[in-house]
Amino acid sequence: MKVILTHEESENLFLVAMCNALGYMTGYGLELEYNEEEYNKARKEGLCYEDVLLEMLRNGGTLTFNDIECDGEYTKTITIQDVHDKVAETPLNHLMDAINEEGDADTSDAILQTVFFGEVVFG
């Protein structure tokens, strides 16, 4: 079964995933990196950190998880197109939990890993 999501749905699921599990990724030896100038451009009053990160992607920016433990093996950079293309590729059980608003941090972690790595690599 393949789930088809609109760009808006993909972005919303990705935003929730960042809010719930961005810290999980640091536990895997990954460090989030982005262009500070792009961040400041995307930053608007009332937006939380994760909202700004998504706005950066919408503005053409990138987000990178830099692998600081495995010699860069898992260093990956994404664009908004990756969010649009890969959220729907999240393992179905996690994706359906997220869509039905029944997800947890593990659900969000699976979404982030799928967007960045194309699959769940850690955990």
Task: Please give the pLDDT value at position 98.
Answer: 97
| Kind plus residue range of the DSSP H or E element containing 63 | strand 63-67
Beta-carbon contacts of residue 102 (< 8 Å; ≥ 6 apart): none
CB 60, CB 17: distance < 8 Å: no
| Alpha helices (runs of H) in 1-123, residue ranges in sequence order | 7-26, 36-42, 49-58, 80-86, 92-99, 105-117
Q: pLDDT tens digits for 78-107?
A: 999 999 999 999 999 999 999 999 999 999
Task: Please give the pLDDT value at position 2.
Answer: 86
Cβ atoms within 10 Å of 33's Cβ, excluding its own: 13
Percent of all residues in the chain with a pLDDT value above 70, rounded to a whole number: 100
Mean pLDDT of 8-19: 98
Asked if the model's pLDDT at residue 69 lies above 90, the reply is no
